[in-house]
Structure 1
Amino acid sequence: MSKATMTADRDAAVRTTGSTGPRKRARLPGDGMAGYLFLSPWLIGILLLTLGPMVTSLYLSFTDYDLFNSPTWIGLENYEKMFSDPRWLRSVQVTAVYVVLAVPIKLAAALAVAMLLNSKRRGQGFYRAAFYGPSLIGGSVSVAIVWKMMFSDDSVVDKLLLGVGIDTGGWAGNPDYSVMMLVLLAVWQLGAPMVIFLAGLKQVPRELYEAAEVDGAGRWRRFRSITLPMISSVVFFNLLLETINSFQVFTSAYVVGGPNGQPAGSTLFYTIYLFDRGFGDYRMGYASAMAWMLLLGVGLVTVFLFRTARGWVFYSGDSGDKR
C-alpha cells in the first residue's frame, strides 16, 4: 500500500470519527450504577456511622434527654449551663494545662530521638523499633494501670525520688503532680511523631550541613538555620495531630483518676466529664452539647495554628515571601 493511499485512509477516518487517536469505548448505561455500587460500603458507613450520629447529637444538644424518655426541646439551656458548671470549667482548665504541657514536651522529645536515630549506627533498626513500640501499646488499660502503680506512694518512682531527697508522697495521689504523671505517659508514647520526624530529616540535603560546617556554623546554628526550616512542615503536621489528640485523652486519665478525676479533681479531663455526664448521670443532652463545644474549641485551635503557620512553615518551592 502506498503512502498516499494510507494518508487518504487516515483522512477519511478522521472525517468519520473526528479523531486521529484510538476510538474511545462508548459509555454504557450501567457504568454510573457500577461506580455507586463500589462506593456503597463507604457511603453507607459515613451516613450511618459518621454523619447520622453527628446530626443526632447536634439535635440532642438542644434537648433534655436521659436515654430512657423522649428528648424534650430546651433550646440553648444546655450550653448556658456549662458556663455556670464548676466541674465543666474545671475540666476545661485541666485539659488546657495538659495540652500546653504534653504537646511541646512530647514533640521536643520525639524530635531529639529522631535526630539521634537519623545517623547510621549499629543496631539502628532495633533502636527505632524500641522507641516506636510504646506508641503501639501506650493507650491500653494495662499500661495505664502499671503506670499508676509506678507513680503511687512508696512505689518505684517514689523511692527513686526519695533517694535524691525529693519527697512527693506519690504522684498518683498528689493533685500537684497527677497531671504531670499523665504528661510523662504521653511523652513515653513518642513513637508516632518520632517516625514522622525521622522521615522529614531524611529529606534534608546533606550538602546544606556540609556547606554550613565549612562556614564555621556550630551544631546549634545548623539546627536552627537548616534543620528546623527544612522540616517546618513536618513540625506543623505533628503539632496539629498531637494537639487534636491531646484534647481527646481519655483511657489513661480514666484509669488513673476514675470518673471523678481523683485526686481532688486534678485529672478531671474534658472527655472524662463528658462521659460521666452522658453515661453516669444519663444527661445525654448535656453531654452532646459538651461534645459540640469540644469540637468548636478544637476547631478554633486548629484555625489558630493554620493562621500562625504562615509565618514559620516553609514548603518546597517557597520563595520566602509569606503573605
Structure 2
Amino acid sequence: MSVLPLGRSRTDQELRPQQRRNRRRNLRAALLFISPWILGFLVFTLWPVLYSGYLSLTDYDVINDPNFIGLENYGQMLEDPKIRLALWNTFIYTVFSVPVHIIVSLLLAMLLNRVTGRASGFFRTVFYLPKMTPPVAIGILLLLLFNGQNGLVNGVLGWFGIPGPSWTTDPAWIQPGLIIMSLWTLGASTIILLAALQNVPQELYDSARVDGANSWQTTWRITLPMISGSLFFLTIVNTIAAFQTFTEAYTAYFGSGNSTYSNDAALFYAIYLFQQAFEFLHMGYASAMAWLLFVIVLVVTIIQMVVGRRMVYYEGDGNG
C-alpha cells in the first residue's frame, strides 16, 4: 500500500503525468506553428550571416571559388581612403538626421494630439501615407525638389528673396538635402509618438496646472519623461536605419552611372559596400565591410542601451 505525502491527494499525483503530456503536446504544436519562421531564419538569415563571415576571410569574385586569405581584407580596409570617407559621411548623416527626425516627428505628433474627432483619423492617415512611397521614388523626388536650377525648394525660397543653394551638385549641400528629404518618411515615427502621447495620464497635467506649471514645464517635466520609452525606441531604430542608408542616395547620385565630383559627398558606407560587392565583384572584401558595419552598429546600440537605462522612464519601476 503506497503512502501519499501529507496534503497531497491521489488525484493530484495522477494528474501530474497528464499535465506533463499536455505541456509536451503544446510545445510540439507551438514548434510546428513557428517552424516556417525558424526554417526561414536558419536558411535566409543565420546561414548567410555565418557564410559572409567565412567569405570575409577569402578572396572571392563570385565566378571562381573562394580563396582563403585570412585577415587581408580587414587589413586592406585600414588602408582604403574610401572606407574612411564612407564611414565619415555615414556618421555625419546619422548624427544630424536622427535628432532632426525625432524632433520633427515629436512636434507633428504633439500637433496631431490636439486634433479630435474624425479629423484625427484623417490627419493620421495623411501623415503616414508618405511612408508608403518606394525609396527609389524618393530618390527621384529628391532630384526634382532640390534641383538647383528649377527645383521646387529653391523656387519657394526665391519667393522670399533667398537664393537657393545647389543642393544636388554642391558637396556642402548634398547631405543637408538628403537629411531634409529623409523627413519624407517620418510618418511611422509620428504615429508611434502620437500613441505614446495619448497614453500619458491626463491627471498629471491637471495636477501640474494646479501647481502653476506652464506649458513648457509640463512638456519638460511630464510629457518627455512619460514618452521617453518611445523616444528611446525610435532613436535606436532610426540610428540603425541611418547607418544602413542606401536606396535614396544611390538612386539620386549613383543610379545613373554618373561619376561627377559631387558623388563623394553622398558616398555612404552601404553604397560603397554595394559597389564592392556587385560592381567590382569583390565579395570577400564586401563581406568584411559588412562585418565591420555590424560591429559598429552593435557598439553604438550598446552605448545607447547603457545611456537609456539612466534616462528612460519605465512605468512601474520608479526610475527616470
**Superposed CA offset, 1:52-72 (max 9, x none):** 101110000011111111111
**Preserved CA contact (<8 Å) 1:254 1:261:** no
**Superposed CA offset, 1:173-220 (max 9, x none):** 111111111111111211111111111111111111111112111111
Which position in structure 2 is the counterpart of 1:183?
A: 179
Q: CA deviation at 1:22?
A: 10
* Secondary structure of the corresponding residue to residue 173 of structure 1: coil
**Preserved CA contact (<8 Å) 2:110 2:197:** yes
The question of 1:46 aligning with 2:41 is answered yes
Given residue 276 of structure 2, which amino acid in structure 1 is its aligned partner?
R
* Secondary structure of the corresponding residue to residue 130 of structure 2: helix
**Superposed CA offset, 1:31-80 (max 9, x none):** 57665544432222111101110111000001111111111111111111
Unaligned runs of 5+ in 2: 1-7
Structure 1 residue ranges, 4+ long, deviating more than 6 angstroms after superposition: 20-23
Match of 1:27 among 6, 21, 36: 21
Match of 1:108 among 88, 97, 103: 103
**Preserved CA contact (<8 Å) 1:60 1:288:** yes
| TM-score normalised by the chain length of structure 2 | 0.88
Q: Distance in 1 between matches of 2:140 and 2:261?
A: 14
Which position in structure 2 is the counterpart of 1:282?
A: 281
Structure 1 residues 1-323: aligned runs within 5 Å: 14-15=9-10, 17-19=11-13, 24=18, 27=21, 31=25, 36-121=31-116, 123-137=119-133, 139-154=134-149, 155-258=151-254, 263-320=262-319
Given residue 191 of structure 2, which amino acid in structure 1 is its aligned partner?
V
Q: CA deviation at 1:298?
A: 0.3
Q: Distance in 1 between matches of 2:237 and 2:161?
A: 38
Q: CA deviation at 1:167?
A: 3.0
**Preserved CA contact (<8 Å) 1:197 1:235:** yes
Q: 1:26 to 1:176 in 2, by over 3 A?
A: closer
Which position in structure 2 is the counterpart of 1:10?
A: none
* Secondary structure of the corresponding residue to residue 166 of structure 1: coil
Larger Rg: 1
- Aligned-residue CA RMSD in angstroms? 2.4
Q: CA deviation at 1:161?
A: 2.5
Q: CA deviation at 1:261?
A: 8.4
Aligned length: 307
Given residue 218 of structure 2, which amino acid in structure 1 is its aligned partner?
R
Q: 1:113 to 1:280 in 2, by over 3 A?
A: same
* Secondary structure of the corresponding residue to residue 160 of structure 1: helix
**Residues 295-304 or 215-224, more deviating:** 215-224
| TM-score normalised by the chain length of structure 1 | 0.88
Identity %: 40
